[in-house]
Chains A and B, each alone.
Chain A
Amino acid sequence: MKNFILAGLLSIFLAACGSSVPLNDVPVADATAKAVGADSGAAGSGVQGSGVAPVDLGTSPDQAQGALASNESRVVYFDYDSFVVKPEFQSLIAAHAKQLRAQPTRRVALEGHTDERGGREYNLALGQKRADAVRNALSILGVSQNQMEAVSFGKEKPAAAGFDEAALAQNRRVEIRYP
């Protein structure tokens, strides 16, 4: 009964969220000093084609979470152009809420993703909206805002390659990740 009420509250809440070279006969003007910058190879000039200092962040370890939890228990999928947590994911969210309430020092990242259609920045904002929806759902179930961070990867990290509906559906998701 209690779960039922919580689920009802959740859906109500989610529904509510909703140079000046003369042009006449002139000799070829010598523009050596400023035109191309003879010393543009020198570091620090930064103004010419040369002089870009490369920065390499190396490679990162595989950050897949597969070993920690299967996708079934930590991914919330969304319908096209939707930010509503579907009823079938409410028990998953309730399970995470219970875990987080029991461990108030534990932190969680809610990582929103979109399918690959459309602009990168706008998709970043759409993914954020999904992540915020899951955060709100957890908040309603008593999880502290201090434990949660909702972020977005937009369309940058698709879970499945390809443009068929199955792949696109796999990509419209929020991953619940424990750092």
Chain B
Amino acid sequence: MIKRYFCYFLSCFVCLPALAQFRIEVSGVGLTQVPVVIAPFKGQEALPQKISDIIKADLERSGQFRVITPPAGAFDESSRPELSFLRQAGADAFASGSVARLADGRFDVRFRLWDVVKGQDLGGRSFAVNATDLRLAAHRVADDIYEKLTGDKGVFSTRIAYVTKVGQRYQLWVADADGESAQSALASPEPIISPAWSPDGNQLAYVSFESRKPVVYVHNVSTGKRRLIANFKGSNSAPTWSPDGTTLALTLSRDGGSQLFLLSAAGGEPRRLMQSPSIDTEPVFSPDGKHIYFVSDRGGSPQVYRVAATGQGAERVTFTGNYNISPAISQDGRWLAYISRVGGAFMLHVMSLADGAVTAITDSAADESPSFSPNGKMLVYATQQQGREALMTSTLDGKVKARLSGQQGDIREPHWGPFFN
């Protein structure tokens, strides 16, 4: 009952300050969420984007926090909050901070986190950033809070690639993990699909139709330099990187049919992974690089299979339903996300690879292209809302979802990038 109340309270509260960014849906009860207070950062009134709102939205979107209204008063990183009051308000943690303009024009963003229950100062940090990176600084603060309170690395400062279609113009974007601060990497009059981050987060492989057939490019996003890596006779598609970044797996039809090949990231001659009379496509490596998950219709309908990276011993992984495609594997190797057709609807599912248990994450009709956050705790996927393509994030249990914004038109083909070290 109390939790139900909190969920309701939470959705109202979160929507108001963060309306411009997200609409966060919370469904289901029984969530274990850390109740946390994020006080407004001192000095943020002068900024177009409120640091504390960005942090709150990040923490909410992760599904692991319940953000509670801050007590009245002004706080910064040197404030010692009144812990008994915060305990009464139900908070387990309290963060406060400040943002100030430095003499060189940059901004100094500082924060400190308190364990309200233990009455302990959990430490803090400061970040000096250009005005254009204030959002990033807020994401870094959210990452620190997330890591200190959950023990897992935060993913709020990582990046997502996605594609938009507006009229007949296609654009490949690199954006913050909340969909904001998008920067265009490529604009084309022809479709772009299947962007895939290299493990170092510097390059994107993708399929472009700019030469009136699907070919695969590898694109350095900071320099804009592109390499045409697969332009063989027929279709070239579905690129994915090996975890060590040396090899791409992809689908080629050059020898007839859609078949899986391995190709050095430096280019050159592809090596065939398997020989099958069926469609084999959408390869993705297991995090240890030893297996490749892929989609095949060898059993009569498209299903997810797994094969050793040597090409030996293909075995079926999905058994429920007659249309299971677009596999993604979490970085801890525990979860398989994929799209399953149920009735006439295409819905995101997650399978526990240890026991094969499957959970439907959505009740939508046209989900596509799931990918995991680098800490394996969230998913991003494409779907349709009110007849338009949209991107959503979800927790692995489907209980907390948020729509990413920041773009007009149709938005699709998300791929969540790695951690930056």
Q: Mark A1-39, 1 if CB is under 8 A from B, else 0.
A: 000000000000000001101111110111110011110
Chain A residues closer than 8 Å to B181, beta-carbon distance: 49
Given A36-B140, A55-B185, A118-B346, residue A28 in contact with residue B130 (CB < 8 A): no
Chain A residues closer than 8 Å to B339, beta-carbon distance: 119
Q: Mark B191-217, 1 if CB is under 8 A from A, else 0.
A: 101100000011000010110111000
Which residue of chain A is the closest to B215 with respect to CB atoms? A151
Which residue of chain B is the closest to A148 with respect to CB atoms? B233
- A33 nearest CB across to chain B (Å): 9
Which residue of chain B is the closest to A36 with respect to CB atoms? B127
Chain B residues closer than 8 Å to A22, beta-carbon distance: 123
A109 to B277, CA, bound (A): 23
- B33 nearest CB across to chain A (Å): 21
B124 near A132: Cβ-Cβ < 8 Å: no
Chain B, 136-194, CB within 8 A of any chain A CB:
136-137, 140, 144, 148, 157, 159, 168-169, 174, 176, 181, 183-191, 193-194
**In the complex, A128 has a CB within 8 A of chain B:** yes
The interface-forming segment of B87-95, B218-226, B392-400 is B218-226
Chain B residues closer than 8 Å to A94, beta-carbon distance: none
Chain B residues closer than 8 Å to A132, beta-carbon distance: 253, 256-257
Chain A residues closer than 8 Å to B129, beta-carbon distance: 36, 38, 40
Chain A, 111-168, CB within 8 A of any chain B CB:
111, 117-122, 124-126, 128-129, 132, 149-154, 156-157
Chain A residues closer than 8 Å to B295, beta-carbon distance: 121-122
**In the complex, A82 has a CB within 8 A of chain B:** no
| Chain B interface residue bracket vs A | 35 or more
B136 near A120: Cβ-Cβ < 8 Å: no
A29 to B128, CA, bound (A): 12
Q: Mark B270-312, 1 if CB is under 8 A from A, else 0.
A: 0000000101011000000000000100000010000000000
Ranked 4 nearest A-B pairs via Cβ: A46-B222, A53-B224, A52-B183, A125-B258
Sample of 7 more A-B contacts, CB < 8 Å, known A36-B133, A46-B221: A18-B277, A24-B123, A38-B106, A54-B187, A119-B339, A124-B214, A125-B251
What are 10 residue pairs bridging A and B, where the CB atoms are less than 8 Å apart in the complex?
A23-B122, A26-B124, A28-B112, A54-B184, A56-B186, A117-B346, A119-B369, A125-B279, A126-B279, A128-B258
